A and B are shown apart, each in its own frame.
Chain A
Amino acid sequence: MIFTSLSFLLFFLSVLLLLAVFKRQAARTYILLIASYVFYGWWSPVFVLLILVTSVWAWAFGLLIDRTDDEVKKSRYLFVSVAFSLGVLAYYKYAEFLAQSFYAALGWQWTYDLGIVLPVGISFFTFQTLSYSIDLRKGKIPVCESPTKFMLFVAFFPQLVAGPIVRASDFLPQLEKKIRISSKNIVIGAQLFLGGALQKTLIADNMSTFVDPIFAEPALYSAETLWLGLAAYSIQIFCDFCGYSLMAIGIAKMLGFDLPENFRMPYLSRSITEFWRRWHISLSSWLRDYLYIALGGNRKGKARMYSHLMITMLLGGLWHGASWNFVLWGALHGIALAIHKIWDDRTRDYSELKATPLYSSIAWLSTLTFAALLWIPFRCVDFPTMQVYVSRLFGGADGIDWINPQVITLLSVVVIWHLIYQFKPAVLAKFPSDNPERFGVQFALGISIFAIILFAPLQTSPFVYFQF
């Protein structure tokens, strides 16, 4: 059930109706939990059991960690809890990849199909249970006594399958307050949802009809088309994921919950470090807090810091998918982050120069180009396809020219949107508005709905990040 489908609309209206009828806090918690399992079970009922077991396991070991004063036992309970969650993730997501890689390393041919189906959103809800257990062990958060509330934290349907990754410290306290369905929240949430839907259906889905054939067979297309395909994919993945996050935040808002921001115009970044502070913020901050800092961060000298960065980004790449392409993508981002750190250290005395428009422009352009180029390994299905794409891209290859006017139009729209954000932020700051009576709000909503109805492609693509 994807957010932009009719089935989701009916499902969500039913949930809102039930919440309006049942006003007791406990009843509303149960309604949201059951709704979340229905939402997940819509894709595959069997895997509801998986999310249930994962939740109960993390919750139960959380209680054990809390109940004992013995530090060694606490650490053991944490280890068991984390090992189980990671084990489940490793089995579903990486078993086949590891087996294939092992065979390849020995020069053998992999001819088997393990038949493992990747549960949607497993990487997201696993990271949520991990953060709960680790934070609890560190004493950063209190234990969650209620299994219902904990299961809702893990399975909360707006962000269950593709984030944002929510921390227990952000979500569980909201369950202690009354779940309030207010017209103000619905108005704000609806605007956020619509903003996300615009990005997803109008921009990302239209881009995908151009991007998919090009990345499937890059050998057929000219270098110009491949450059346009790369630009289109850069926008597609941003609008797809940012759009999903915004819709998730909007849906949660309508239900009375606040979810963390996940994107802050990453393509305006002037360094790769800044890019990762703006792109998939909930993941990058998770990796920073639970991996990079846990490894030692920058506390153990420069050389170790760079290696920690590399490890973090390698695993961050692998988090996205079980493929060497993702490993390469993560590794190159890790190298870039390390290089930027070195550059930043060595140019510390040139802050005035760095503040000049020329420096900013060069920094922005190089960051954007680098981030875009790295989407090639991210998007290509395998290494050979990636090699073809890169060699033709830079080799000025002849081939089919496909200069899609819709793609050019949408790219222009996205550029204008970014320019407004950069130079006239007050225009965008008006949204979301809690005043539905304002003419501008009504007009923007009306036009947005029409734009989606008129121009969104009929074949909606699944959200890119569902596969992770």
Chain B
Amino acid sequence: MTLLCLLIGEVVTRAFITSPSPAKSDPELGWVYRPGVEIFHTKEGWGRNQMNALGLNDSPLHEIPVGQNIAILGDSFAEALQVDRQDNFSEYAEAQLSCANVVNAGRSGMALTHFPAMARRLAAEIRLDLIYVVLNSWDFDDTLQHAGKLTYDDDGQLIDIDVQFRQQHSLRRKAAVIFDNSALATHLLERLKLMLEGRTVQTQATNTQSFENPSDSELRQFADIFGFVTSKLSEIAPVKIVYIPRLEYSDSGRSTLSEDSYYYQEILRELSLKSDIQFASVGSNFQNAYALHLKPPVGFHNAGIKMGHLNELGHAAVGKILVEDIAPTCANLAFGGEG
């Protein structure tokens, strides 16, 4: 009887919930997808995507000799497992631009501090002409949480970030053979982990979450990390920042940036300006999309509307920003100019 139940559980899990664990441990980036693995994502949206040889949600890595090879660095918003590949913003931009090879190097759980390592890996494979760092309002906290060991020189300048992946998830490592083959075990472990992490009980969904400004020391630390990471990335290729804000919605298609989103947007704009980096926010594109379609750019019917990751509409809105930014370069190339 137990075996029968386990078997049914495995079948149901594979059919409706998740695949067996597709991840492997990586000393720099934490858990990354195994090369070539297919990810079946149903928690939000409904996406089935095959990872490439680097474990990224993109087609096999290739370099275009003429035109721009562009890397998109980001977290799960860039990785975009919630939609089919052709709908994510990297593919959207690539499809619209004849001169660009856009590489989606987004990875769930990655923070700003992980980006140099990811960029180095890409640069070892292909020539990179441009790097977009895609950030959202959660990245401030994520970056501080994943700051790792920061080393400062005598002048107070940040000179190194050690983001060695902590030796955790020992159970998962020891029982890897089970999780690699059983969707049920993978799902149960994930649930157990979330339960043990003590997810808070949420009673009512409200639109008025209070926001507290980060402290001065947190702001200073984030600025140090931002400066350090962007300078490291700039050694590989020019860097641009794209910011994905969170909206608050009103009736009749009206919306505004949430208080925290606006705050972080301005922080990032200022830091980008200081580092002489181009900054763009997707805010107005999001607002226009909502006004036009009466559909928020984030959220999915099977999870939550107006919260969570980018849906097809949101990806198109971000994609448009990229296209508008890259298209002039393509025009230059078409007329024989330099990219």
Query: Residues of A at under 8 Å CB distance from B?
Result: 6, 209, 212-213, 216-217, 219-220, 222, 398-406, 439, 442-443, 446-447, 449-450, 453-454, 458-462
Contacts and interface: CB of A to CB of B under 8 A. Distances in A.
B206 interface: yes
12 contacts: A212-B203, A213-B305, A217-B249, A220-B249, A220-B251, A400-B294, A443-B1, A447-B5, A454-B12, A458-B194, A459-B201, A461-B202
Contacts of B199: 458-459
Nearest to A403: B301
Interface in B3-35: 4-5, 8-9, 12-13, 17
A11 B252 CA distance: 50
B177 interface: no
Shortest 10 CB-CB distances between A and B: which pairs? A446-B5, A212-B205, A213-B205, A219-B251, A402-B305, A450-B9, A459-B202, A442-B1, A216-B205, A458-B194
A400 B12 contact: no
Which of A213, A222, A443, A447: most chain B CB closer than 10 A? A213
Contact of A213 (B9, B12, B187, B304): B304
A136 B192 CA distance: 50
Given A220-B250, A402-B305, A454-B9, A446 B195 contact: no
Interface string B179-207: 00000100110010011000111111111
Contact of B204 (A6, A212, A450): A212
Contact of B304 (A6, A209, A442, A462): A209
Given A209-B304, A461-B203, A454 B5 contact: no
Contacts of A462: 201, 203
A133 B199 CA distance: 43
Contact of B207 (A209, A216, A402): A216
Given A213-B205, A216-B204, A458-B191, A447 B8 contact: yes
Nearest to B307: A213
B188 to A, nearest CB: 7
A435 B207 CA distance: 50
Interface in B35-88: none
Contacts of A458: 191, 194-195, 199
A386 to B, nearest CB: 15
Nearest to B200: A459
A209 B300 CA distance: 13
A397 B266 CA distance: 36
A453 B306 contact: no
B217 interface: no
A405 B250 contact: no
Given A220-B250, A453-B188, A462-B203, A400 B195 contact: no
B319 interface: no
Interface in B279-300: 294-296
B2 interface: yes
A219 B253 CA distance: 11
Interface string B203-240: 11111000000000000000000000000000000000
Contacts of B2: 446
